[in-house]
Structure 1
Amino acid sequence: MTVFSYLRAMHEGDLNWVLDVEQQAYDFPWSKKGFENSLDQGLNYVFCDAEGTALGYVCVLTVLDEAHILNLCVAPKYQKQGVARMALHSLQSKLKESGFTLLLLEVRVSNQPAISLYESFGFNRDGVRVNYYRCQEWDEVSGELVEAKEDAVLMSCTL
């Protein structure tokens, strides 16, 4: 079992690894430009184990005393090992120490494990963004996967 140990700042040299993980983890991954913009505009961290092995990452946009998680991902080979739980705890502590008072995020309505994780950290469901995420669904007429939209649950917690 892999154990999360610490967060470190994400830097440009991480982008190839981050893009690879993003493509493994999501049907509609962020682009390289998306991550480059995030590096320029927000707080970005890589989740590491004690040996410095990268386990996942998080991109956070900050505005005044609010922090908004834009993308939190654990590499598929490290999922279901508690990495997200330990990294989220560390992130909340780091943000609180830095003076942020509110943490926001969106999560797919279908991602019940993530919703449960966030609720266990004190996040509340604040609303729904209709048709927020791209997704794929089976079209009975054509017998193919087609692009569709999925709602997002808006969540927040006080730090």
Structure 2
Amino acid sequence: MIAVKMSLPDGYQQRKGSHIDQTLLIDFMCKTYQEFFPEQKKFSHLADTVAQYFSDATPLWWIEFKKKPIGCLWMGSGVDQVTGQKYGHIFLVYISPEHRRQGLATVLLKQAEMWAKSQGNFQLGLQVFLDNQPAINLYQNFGFQSQSLLMVKPLG
């Protein structure tokens, strides 16, 4: 699997994830959702998501600080519903708040782009919460553009 060798700040290193990282991936997914939905206390369904989608076809990378994971990238594939072409999809990109604004997410986005290209994909996609303006800014600066808007209506 391709690993991007990019300059990380002192004390940081990047490593490829493996099947033994599933529990850690679930923890990082929970951190992501807890950050934006602090009123929700239970995210046990995320373990089901990982169980369903985690495989050799959905690679994982970590950024560690002093050998402790502080960021991750989980990739997969999607099908563009307009063109029918397969594309690289970022399931999760996360950097712990105290380690942000150091270029670490950019390293992971470059890793995502390299992986997607190595798979012959024509584009890279992701979903971001509308109230996560710092992430939206990062993605736009990286060249992402809005293509659709997911809308939901509570029924209860």
TM category (shorter chain) comes to: 0.5 to 0.7
Percent of pairs with identical residues: 20
The separation in 2 between residues aligned to 1:37 and 1:77, in whole angstroms, is: 31
Aligned-pair distance for 1:52?
5.4
Does 2:106 align with 1:99? no
Provide the TM-score with structure 2 as the length reference: 0.67
Shift of 1:103: 0.9
For 1:51 and 1:3, locate their aligned partners in 2 and report how far apart those are by CA, in whole Å: 6
Structure with a larger share of its residues in strand: 1
User: Contact 1:69 / 1:105 at 8 angstroms: preserved in 2?
Assistant: yes
Specify the alignment match of 1:80 in structure 2: 101
Q: Which runs of 5+ in 1 are unaligned?
A: 133-147, 149-159
For 1:81 and 1:117, locate their aligned partners in 2 and report how far apart those are by CA, in whole Å.
12
Q: 1:2 to 1:75 in 2, by over 3 A?
A: farther
1:11 matched residue in structure 2: 18
Counterparts of 2:50 and 2:113, CA distance in 1: 21
Which residue pairs with 1:129 in the alignment? 150
State the AA in 2 paired with 1:21. Answer: F
- Structure 2 Cα separation of the partners of residues 52 and 96 of structure 1: 29
Q: Which residue of 2 aligns with 1:68?
A: 89
In the TM superposition, what whole-angstrom CA distance separates every residue of 1:91-136 from its partner, at most 9, and x where no partner exists?
212221332111111111111111111111111111211138xxxx
Asked if structure 2 preserves the Cα contact closer than 8 Å seen for 1:38 and 1:44, the reply is no
Query: Deviating runs (4+, > 6 A) in structure 1?
Result: none
Which residue number corresponds to residue 38 of structure 1? 53
Q: Say whether 1:25 aligns with 2:32.
A: yes
- Paired residues in the alignment total 132
Partner of 2:149, secondary structure, is strand
Contact persistence 2:14–2:62 (CA under 8 A): yes
Task: Supply the RMSD in Å over aligned alpha carbons.
Answer: 2.9
1:154 is aligned to: none
Bigger Cα displacement from structure 2, 49-58 vs 77-86 = 49-58
| Contact 2:62 2:71 (8 Å CA) reproduced | yes
